Structure formats: structure tokens, C-alpha cells
Amino acid sequence: MLSQSTNLYNQLAKNKLFKKNINFDLKRIKLALSKLDHPERKLKNVINIIGSDGKYSLLNSLKFFIEANNQKTSAFISPSLKNIRDRFWMGDIYLSYNEIKNSIKIIEKLKINLTVFEVLTLIFIINSANEDNDYNLVEAGALFAKDSTNVFPFPLIQAVVNINKQHLNFLKKKTLNEIINQKVGYLNQFTNIYVGKQNNSTQKKIKKILVKNNSKKIYSNSWKLIKIKNNYFYKDKSFKIKILNKNIHSKGLLDNLAMAIKIALDLGINESIIKKTIPRIKHEGRIDYLKKGKIHKKLYNNEKILIDGCHSENSAKNLAAHLKNIKIPKYGIWGMIKNKDPNNFIKHFKGVFKKIITIDIDREKKSLSKNKLLNIANKNNFSVETAENFESAIKKISSKQKKIICVFGSLYLCGNILNKN
């Protein structure tokens, strides 16, 4: 039996009004917003989050800080992790299936040929406009120049996280320069732009593009993430805050947390509130150890399981660095979707895994086949075999031996695992 979430996604995919292919153009969604009497203008204090890796962790950290300050938020997440509902946060509650269905009916009446992502963006805007939220957090899609999330006239903040060579398949010029231009070259001229940690070359290119932008610009040299012995600290000219958190396990996620702290302080959130909130922050599906649930219960006591939706070279480096610091055997369960780069991705795990099991991602048409992943891993000299599904992979790996089982390569795969747990 299909879940309500799957049924809703199928409904969107089969609807003749809505385009299956991604087609970047703001004309359609702007027409829809106009016919709806501009609900996007009702959203105050919009924070756009743009980039390649780390958008969700920055958004989620900010959400924790703002709500700890007794302020209301809404949030639009892309992609969903467990089901369609978790794309749409109203405070700490997801939109209900009925609210999503009712929003789709409103959008259908517009008779506009929208893409599915545009429909999802509209669902968020329609429902957020009916709430009196203090802040509205919006995660961008693949690009930003003509992304349907780039429709808010006066966003409070536009935050740019790590940019790298993802989403090249959407561009005519398949270069990092063009990716940077698409994500940064179309930022609002009257906002506060925060640019998170980048490599030196990317940072220089971003600064060059933003020279002509009139917005206030805050670059990552305005704050630091420093390590003293085994402890990390956020530091700027006025504050030094110890980062005490047992749920965040990679330098990349810590960099984004530091950026969130900077933004939260600039929003006027008290240092004491930030300190109390840091230990509670957790990012589902991002180097996420499953410490309870059905899957966890089936493992031996000496086994740990973690899931990570990493799917780029940058996020692969972060996961590999974390695993290399753990001196017990590691086994990988690898699944990935078709528009990624598995060849360069898997190279970062050389010397990390004792064995990799490749699987297809359940109910995901875009999944790379387990046999293709097997061939790629073989070419890179990994010990590797296939399994029919996640459960079969666990059976092949699980034993009384002390180990870490790492499920990685796709947020879609991690979402499936979380649903099974």
C-alpha cells in the first residue's frame, strides 16, 4: 500500500498541468503569485539559504536559535527527507496532508503549467502567508538565479553556504564559475548577505561578483571556528562561545553552525540563549547515529549504525574525515541517484571501509543501479558486493564484531532508512 506522501508525489507527477522536467524560469511562478494576490509579500523577515552543501544544517540551526528566543518560524526544506510533509515546517509542526492537498487544489485552479518544485514552493508560501511568523526560512533549490524561491521582494538575509560543482547538469556552461554566478550573481540588492566558508578561489570569485551588489556583505572572515585541544569555539570580535554538541560530527557541519551563531547574534539573540541551545541541535540524516528504533534494536550491542545523505565530493570528504578518526572497522551501504558523480565521490573513502555493499534505493526511479555502483567501486579497488535491499545488506554485514555500519550516498536513501526505523 502506497503512503499518503507517495500518493501526493504521484498526484503531482501525473497532473497534466504540472511539468515533470525542471525548467528554470521565474515567469510562471510570478504569474501564479500575482493571481493569488501576492502572498509572498506577506512573509516578513525572509531568510534565503543558497549554496551547494550545508543549506539544511544552516537553516535547521537558525530555526533552533530563533525558536529558543520565543519567536515563531516557518521553513521550506528541499528535498524532503522522510515524506512530503517535512518540506513544510510551521513552527515545530509539519503541514498536514489535508493542508497540502487543499493548497494543491488552489494552485490547480490557476491553470498555469508549473514545475513540481514551483508547486511545492507555492504550497509553502500560501500556508506561511496565513501565519504570523517572526522569520521565514527558505532553502533554495538547485540554482538561485531563476529558482522559484527567488521571489521574495525584500528578504532580510540571504545566506550563502559552501558552493561546489553540483547541479552542472542544469547549465549550458558546465563550469564552477557559472554555478557561482547562478547562485550569487542574482542575490537581492537590498538585503544582508552572509557568505559562509568557501575555498580561497571560490571566495575570490564570490567577492568579485558581489562588488556591484549594494547589500551589506558579511564574509566568513568576520567570525572564526577555532579548535583548542579537543573543543571547538565560535569566535568573533565580541564573543567566544564554546560549542558543546554531541550530535554534530563533521567540520563542515560545525562551520555551518558557526555561521548560524553569527547570524543569530546579529539578529539580537542573547549569547546565553545560544549557549543553552547549541547542545540540542541535531540534523537528521547528516552523520546521524541511530540510537533507537527498529533498525537499531536488530543490531548487536557492539554495532553502531549511522546514516549520512552526503552526495557530493565536499560532503564525502566530511564523512570520510569523521570515519577516519574512529579506530574500529567500518562497513558501508552505498546508494546514489543518477544526477550525481559517483566516480569522484567514492574515491574519498579509500582506506575507510573494510567492505561496501551497493544497493538500489527503494521506490526511487532516479536511483543508480547497484550493479553500476558495484563496477565503480571495483574500479577503485574497494572490497564490494551487491545486496537486493537494505535489509539484505545488513544481514551480510551484521555480526558480534565491533563495527560501524555507515549508510551513505543519498538523502533519498537516508529518508527510506528513517522511515523503516
Specify the pLDDT at position 339.
Answer: 84
Split at pLDDT 50, 70, 90, the class of 63 is very high
d(C-alpha 386, C-alpha 332), whole Å: 11
Average pLDDT, whole number, for the chain? 94
Cis before 79 (ω within 30): yes
Is the Cβ–Cβ distance between 407 and 307 less than 8 Å?
yes
d(C-alpha 304, C-alpha 80), whole Å: 25
Helix (H) or strand (E) holding 251: helix 251-266
Report the CATH superfamily, name and number, of domain 288-420: Mur ligase, C-terminal domain (3.90.190.20)
User: 229-262: per-residue pLDDT in tens?
Assistant: 989 999 999 999 999 999 999 999 999 999 999 9
pTM of the model: 0.95
d(C-alpha 234, C-alpha 227), whole Å: 9
User: 132-186: per-residue pLDDT in tens?
Assistant: 999 999 999 888 888 999 999 999 999 999 999 887 777 777 888 999 999 999 9
Domain boundaries, the chain: 4-280, 288-420
3-state secondary structure 17-34: CCECCCCCCHHHHHHHHH
CATH topology of domain 4-280: UDP-N-acetylmuramoyl-L-alanine:D-glutamate ligase (3.40.1190)
As given in the structure block, the three cell numbers for residue 323 are: 570515519
DSSP letter, residue 42: G
Does the pLDDT of residue 1 top 50, yes or no? Answer: no
